[in-house]
Homo-oligomer: A and B are copies of this chain.
Amino acid sequence: MASDRRTLLADAALDVLADEGIRGLTHRAVDRKAGMPTGTTSAYFRTRAALLTGLVTRLVRLDQAELHTLAESLPPPRTVEELVDGMVLLARQRLTGEGRRRSLARYACALESVRDRELREILVPRENAGRDAVRLFLAAHGVTDVENRSHTLLTCIDGLIFDRLVSGGEVPREALEGLVAAALRQDPGIRSSRSSRPGASP
């Protein structure tokens, strides 16, 4: 029961953060958002740091669940089209409704984590169904540097989502296609003269 209450409060904290920004995130605001008596949030999360940790832990769990559900609902992508379909869907989910609120909270928490090692460790990119799908896809298409290429691809999508979160509109399919094409492209080391510039790795 206690753990349900904690989850409920963490969800309310997520909502406060999304609606009012990091400045608005106080124990009292979470009590209000959760419709619970003043003091409830402090009883479960004594400090502001504990509240943030609880919020971020919940956020990561929800994100993981979302990616899992998305991966279950789609076949493992075999063509570029199918991979892009999944990415379009994910971008849309992250820009609307609940997903939008979570995105706002996610970027705010990422910025907080610059000054907070504990948050950073919770937020560190981890194994998940979405990352797996991208990784398997790239490997199946002969990409050798799968780890870096998938990280770059997913990080760029984050950049596109951040931009639309602030400015409105959808992430255009064409942009996602470009990112997949970039991830699949042949190792540029093969084409260009690198010998003159050590460190600018292939």
Contact = CB atoms under 8 A, between A and B. Distances in A.
Interface of A: 20-23, 81, 85, 104, 107-108, 110-115, 120, 123-124, 145, 148-149, 152, 155-160, 162-163, 165-167, 172-175, 177-179, 181-183, 185, 188, 192, 199-202
A128 to B, nearest CB: 16
A123 B177 CA distance: 27
Each complex incorporates copies of this chain amounting to: 2
B177 A201 contact: yes
B166 A188 contact: no
**Majority DSSP secondary structure for residues of A touching B:** helix
A175 B152 CA distance: 6
A155 B148 contact: no
Nearest to A108: B111
A21 B52 CA distance: 14
B178 A114 contact: no
Nearest to A109: B166
Contact of A156 (B110, B156, B174, B199): B156
B155 A159 contact: yes
Nearest to A20: B115
Given A152-B160, A159-B158, A165-B114, A200 B183 contact: no
B166 A111 contact: yes
A79 to B, nearest CB: 10
Contact of A181 (B120, B163, B185): B185
